[in-house]
Amino acid sequence: MEGTPYRRLFPAGPDTDALRYTRELELGEARPGRPYVLANFVTSADGRATVGEDSRRLSGTADRELFYALRERVDAVLIGPRTLAAERYKRMLPAAERRERRRAAGRPAEPLAVTVTRSGPVPRDIPLFRDAPDRVLVIDGDGVPLDAVLATLRRDHGVATLLCEGGPTLFGALWRAGLVDELFLTVAPMLVGGASAPSLVGGPATDADPEELALLGALEREGTLFLRYRVGEMDAPPTTPTD
Q: What is the pLDDT of residues 8-63, one digit of tens each?
A: 999 999 999 999 999 999 999 999 999 999 999 999 998 888 787 677 788 889 99
pTM of the model: 0.90
Q: What is the pLDDT of residues 142-192, one digit of tens each?
A: 889 999 999 999 999 999 999 999 888 899 999 999 999 999 999 999 998
Name the CATH superfamily for 7-202+213-230.
Dihydrofolate Reductase, subunit A (3.40.430.10)
- Reduced to 3 states, what is the DSSP secondary structure of residue 183? strand
Q: Which of 159, 165, 170 is nearest to 183 (CA)?
A: 165
Please name the helix (run of DSSP H) or strand (run of DSSP E) that holds residue 7, with its range, or none. Answer: strand 7-10
Q: What is the pLDDT of residues 74-109, one digit of tens each?
A: 999 999 999 999 899 999 999 999 999 999 999 999
In angstroms, the CA 64 to CA 75 distance is 19
Q: Where are the domains of the chain?
A: 7-202+213-230
Angle (CA) 98-153-119 rounded to 5° is 105
